[in-house]
Structure formats: C-alpha cells, structure tokens
Chain A
Amino acid sequence: MSEQIVYALEVFANGLMSGVLYALVALGFVLIYKASGIFNFAQGVMALFAAMTLVGIQNGQVPFAHLINAVLGTHIHHFGWHIHSVLALIFTVGVMILLAVAIQRFVFRHLVGQEPIILFMATIGLAYFLEGFSDLMWNSEIKTLKFCVAEGTCLPQGMNMAIDEAAYNAFGTGFFIDNLDISAAIVAVMLVIALVAFSQYTKQGRAMRAVADDHQAALSVGISLNFIWILVWSVAGFVALVAGIMWGAKSGVQFSLSLIALKALPVLMLGGFTSIPGAIVGGLIIGVGEKMFEYCFGTGQCFGGIINLGGATENWFAYVLALVFLVFRPQGLFGEKIIERV
C-alpha cells in the first residue's frame, strides 16, 4: 500500500475520532431540544463551565477569588488542597444539577409559551452570562485538565504506540492516533448506551420521552413538566461535563472550548435536531468530511493538487456542507418531517 493512501486513512481515522467529540456536544443539544423544544445555544459554554468547575474543585481554587480580592482587598486564591478526581467529578455533577435547577427556575419557567426563537435568544444570553460567570468564578487563564481515577491511571494521552507499530510492520509507515481520542470514542459509546438505557428502562426516562412526544398529554397523565425539564437540563449538563473533560484534556480548559458548540450546530443540522442517532452519524460525517476536505483541497494533496485553497478550510467546511445538504433535505438526515399548516 502506498504511503499516501495510509496517510489518507490516518486522516480519515482522526476525522472519525474528532467526529465523536462533535457528536458528544451535539448529543446535549438533541436531549434538550427533544424534551423542551429549546435550542440550547449555551451547550458549549456549559461544557466549558463544567470543565472549569472540575479543574477548580480538583485544585482547590477559591471560587470568585478575583472578585473577593478586588472588593475586600484580600489575596486569597487557593484552599491549598487537592481533591481526588472522582470526588471532584461527583461535586461537579452536583454543581451542574444546581445549574439546571437555576436555569429552569430563573429563566425558562418565565418563558413558557414564548416563541421558539425567543427561547433560542434567551439561551444565547445564557451563554454570555455563563461564560462571564465561569471566568469570574474560576478566572480565565488556561488550565490543564488531568483526570486520574487512581494514582497512575489517568486519561491516556499522546500517540497510541501499539497501532503505530502495527501499521509500521504492515505498511512500513507510522499511523498516528491519539490515545485520548480512542478513550473519548469509548466513553461516547458508553454514554450513548447509558442514555438509551436510561430513557428506555427507567420511569423518569419514560416520562422524559412522553414529554418530548407531547407536553400536554404528558401533563394530563400526571408528569411534572418542571421536574422533567430540570432532569433534562441536568442530563444535558452531565453530557456537557463529559464533553468538557474530553475536549479539556485534549486542548486545555480555555475559552475556545465554548466554540465547539458552534461546530456542533452543523452536526445537528445534518443529523436532524430531534434524533440521537442523527447526532452521532452527523458528527462522524462532519468530522471525517472536514478532515478529508482539508487534506484533499485545503492543502491540495489529492488528485495531484489541482485544488489548493490554502488551508484552514475546517473553519467553514462543516457549515457549507450542512447548508448545501439542507437545501435538498430541510429536516436533516433523521429529522422528523416538517409539516406546516396555516
């Protein structure tokens, strides 16, 4: 096999892996959209907030240290302890549940019955609020996220040597795949299985699906909408936490983490807003598509370099792909057919 084909395969595999990460973020969108019809623009910022909270709790940072120092003239910054990752994870889940309650209590309870576009704009406001809030709470410097279950067993990072070596023996060239991407893929699969199990086999999950199906019918059989919405936002918060850990471990916990939400949007459009399998398939298509497009046309390495757009096509490829796709199928791959009535 020629070197170039192996290299293309490598790009393909890495595209799949980053597609998994996109799908993780998109999953959170779909959950909330299905259950409450809210298109949650703040999902990416929630991932950022979750990751920052996890790191902050792990390192024993004092929340709002900056603000307290500025107001009271003190110089506090750390409690001086380190908390075990798993314990910190549990605390962070608690914080995300609190956040879900607060969002439901202070924002969306007052916006019941508004048009979807108003709700969407409210989530943009929420995204801004949460972004400033997490910076205030845990300050905005770039943090490294290390997630260790026990001493020495952390989230793996760096190149996977086994695959690289196997490829070298088979084809005579190396094959780069990040260990972190592999573990992200495994975690994503586990998460999806857990979500499906939750929504199919538990009482709350069934109630959640009922609400997604028809609000009023669910209300009339005695399901508390308020509780279900809090539950949905908590689950979305948990998904955001997982996405935040994976992205944070990959590229550091920093502001750009919230921009992955923008990347998740074309994924959703491809897959359809209401479909969990759609989010995953869409994520994989976008991940592979943008990596292959960048490889082939962005840097001009396919077909003898006929087309060379000069790189950085990843910025827009996903959106243009989704745009072109939507013109032919407005509801996405797996979305419900849009029926409009006067």
Chain B
Amino acid sequence: MFYREAGDFKTSYSKDNQTFPIKIDRVGYYLVLLVAFLVVPFMLNDYWVNAIFLPFLIYSIAAIGLNILVGYCGQVSLGTGGFMAVGAYACYKLMTTFPDINIFFHVIIAGGITGLVCVVFGLPSLRIKGFYLAVATLAAQFFLVWLFNRVPWFYNYSASGQINAPERTVFGIEVTGANTEAWATYLFCLVFVVASAWIARNLTRGMTGRKWMAIRDMDIAAEIIGVNPLKAKISAFAVSGFFVGISGALFFAVYLGAVEVGEAFGITKSFLVLFMIIIGGLGSIFGSFAGAAFLVLLPVVLKVVGVDMLGWPTDMVAHLQLVIVGGLIILFLILEPHGLAQLWRVTKQKLRLWPFPH
C-alpha cells in the first residue's frame, strides 16, 4: 500500500477527472467524512463544540469564501467582517419574519443576500485594483457595521441593539436558541461545510475557476484571451459573498446566539479570516480548512499552556498570542508564501517517491 497513482486504472473520463486521483486520498477523504458524521457527534461535549468544533467549521466556510475572492480571483478584500454581519442580520430578519420556514433555507437565502451586497461593493473592482481595492473594501466593512448599529429596523427595534437567535428546529431537533444539544449544532454546521467545500472545489477546477485564476494572474492578459473581467470579478464577489454570508449566519444563529455587531463582526474579524487563508494557503480549499483549524486551535492551546499550566495572567497571554500570530504570519510568508497547503503538497510529493527516492 504505497502512495502512488500506479496501479489505479481509470477506464472513463469522469474517473480520470475526479478530485482525488490517488486511491489513498480517496479512501482518506471518505474516511474523514465518515468519522466527521458518524463518530465525532457521539464523542462531543459542550466545551469541545463551543471552543473548537463550531468556530472551526464556521470559519472554514468564511475562509473558503474569502479564498475564492483573494486566493483564486486575486481581489484583496478587508470587508469580510462586514459581509459576515450582512449574513447574520439577513438570517435574523428572515428567522423573525418567516418563523414557519425551516432555518436551513434561511441560512441559504441569507448567503444569497450577502452575495448581492458583496457584488454591489465589488463593482468598483473593475476600476480599482490592488491596494486601492483592499482599502476600498474597508468602506464596506465600516459602512455595514455602522448601518446595522444605526438603523433599528435591522435589529427589530430591540432596546439593547443586539440581535438574539430565536429557537428553531430541523427535523424536530433544536439547532438554535438556548437549549441546543452539542451534536445537533455540530451536525447542522457540518452539513454546510461539506456542501460549501464540495461546491467551491468543483467551481474552482472548472471553467469559472480557471477564468478567476486568469484574472488573478494578469487581468489585462486574461481580457485579451477572451475572459470577460466584469463577469469573472462579479461572479467571484457573488460566490465569495454567498459563502461568507452563510458563515456569518451560522456564526450568529448557531454559535453565538446573541450578537452585538461592532463586537462580533468588527475589522478584527476581517483580518482573522484573511490570516487564516494566508497561513492556510492562498488558492487552496484544503488550505482554508488548515488555516481555520490553526488559528482556532492556537488561542486554545496558548490558553491551556499559558493560563492553566503556567499560571500567567490572562491579558499577558492575550498579548503573547498577538506576538505569536504576527510572528508566525511573517515566518510563513518568508518560508512558505503558499501556506500550509503547500507544505501538504510537498509532503505528498515526497510520499509518492517514498521509500525509494530514485
């Protein structure tokens, strides 16, 4: 059982084009899915779900969304927090306005609405490029947060200005509100994660994804060979917004339950998701997962080591965490600008030869 293509014969075009051409990869992928759906839910408790699994799953969706925009299409966005807020507030308004419809559809429609908003803020990308665009997306970030803070209609005129997720069920099992079971919320998010990753993976390796990558590599050249920059850029913004919106909706409805917009979806959130895709790997779906896992686990590990084991004060560990995250980002950019995903690729390349290096 070596890690090789050899001996794995393909007899049809569809088999030749499959996502995982190597058998071990394929088996591993199904195994991971199996464990995630059938084993993990039985081993979970509230701490694990709230500290690690839910943030990991939800940030993975956001990272996939942002990776499509930044990693595949090359349009740097610093407005992720604002777009997540759109998803959250859209989901909230839908949940309270149409309480009879299943929350599953609310989340998807919230994603769609975010996609539309994202397109509006993406329109200037046709004129503005590079850094200028990155700064322009900050306009979206600050404007949207301000909007949700100032217009009472968005938070249903509640006195605190917060939005609270009402209790909603899927197949009779509660997934939002105060009385949820750990495994139910986990599975609900997992379904969205798997669907998002599957859609994103297949979009990016098809015609649409190739157009995005052509725009990323050099937009003028892409235009000359017949890629329509308007369609490519706008579709990237729309798809990216869709995923980011879903993650924002889940972040609010399933994970936090109650949200104050400036706190939950501020500029730091935009940077967090951006760091995830830098560390994970720009232009890689696996990288989105790896980066999200890394930046979700790092604070937990630091807290366990620093506060619980060494007994250091919490604020100092928080500062140390900033230093470590910043240092790691610089280190990654120096050593491996393509992130964890590239390390994984290199490992796989080495594995193909192992144990006979020649």
Interface residues of A in 168-183 (CB under 8 A from B): none
Among B129, B145, B328, contact of A330 (Cβ-Cβ < 8 Å): B129
Task: Say whether B170 faces chain A, with CB atoms less than 8 Å apart.
Answer: no
Q: Interface residues of B: mostly helix, strand, loop or mixed?
A: helix
Among A135, A312, A316, A323, contact of B319 (Cβ-Cβ < 8 Å): A135
Q: How far is the CA of A117 from the CA of B76 in the complex (A)?
A: 9
Contact B143 A326 (CB under 8 A): no
Count of residues in A whose CB is under 8 Å from the partner chain: 51
**Given A117-B76, A122-B330, A136-B319, are A312 and B135 also a contact pair (CB < 8 Å)?**
no
> Across the interface, which residues of A come within 8 angstroms of B304, CB to CB?
none
Interface residues of B in 209-268 (CB under 8 A from A): 218, 220-221, 224, 267
Most chain B CB atoms below 10 A, which of A117, A125, A126? A125
Q: How far is the CA of A338 from the CA of B129 in the complex (A)?
A: 10
Contact A132 B130 (CB under 8 A): no
> Across the interface, which residues of B come within 8 angstroms of A110, CB to CB?
334
Contact A140 B319 (CB under 8 A): yes
> Across the interface, which residues of B come within 8 angstroms of A268, CB to CB?
135
Q: How far is the CA of A125 from the CA of B323 in the complex (A)?
A: 9
Contact A125 B139 (CB under 8 A): no
CB distance from A319 to the nearest CB of B (A): 3
> Across the interface, which residues of A come within 8 angstroms of B150, CB to CB?
309-312
CB-nearest residue of chain A relative to B219?
A340
Contact A319 B138 (CB under 8 A): yes
Task: Say whether B315 faces chain A, with CB atoms less than 8 Å apart.
Answer: yes
Interface size class of B (residues with CB under 8 A): 35 or more
Contact B320 A342 (CB under 8 A): no
Q: How far is the CA of A124 from the CA of B334 in the complex (A)?
A: 14
Contact B127 A128 (CB under 8 A): no
- Contact code string A90-126 (vs B, CB < 8 Å = 1, else 0): 0000000000000000010011001011101110111
Q: How far is the CA of A262 from the CA of B150 in the complex (A)?
A: 21
A-B pairs with lowest CB-CB distance, top 9: A132-B322, A129-B326, A125-B329, A128-B326, A319-B139, A132-B323, A316-B142, A135-B319, A316-B143
Interface residues of A (CB under 8 A from B): 39, 66-67, 70, 107, 110-111, 114, 116-118, 120-122, 124-133, 135-136, 140, 262, 265-266, 268-269, 273, 309-313, 315-316, 319-320, 322-323, 326-327, 330, 338, 340-342
Interface residues of B (CB under 8 A from A): 76, 124, 127-132, 134-136, 138-139, 142-143, 145-146, 149-150, 218, 220-221, 224, 267, 271, 274-275, 278, 310-313, 315-316, 319-330, 333-334, 337
Instruction: Give 17 A-B contacts (CB < 8 Å), ordered by A residue.
Output: A70-B310, A111-B333, A124-B275, A124-B329, A125-B329, A129-B326, A135-B319, A135-B322, A140-B315, A268-B135, A316-B142, A319-B138, A322-B135, A323-B124, A326-B127, A338-B129, A342-B221
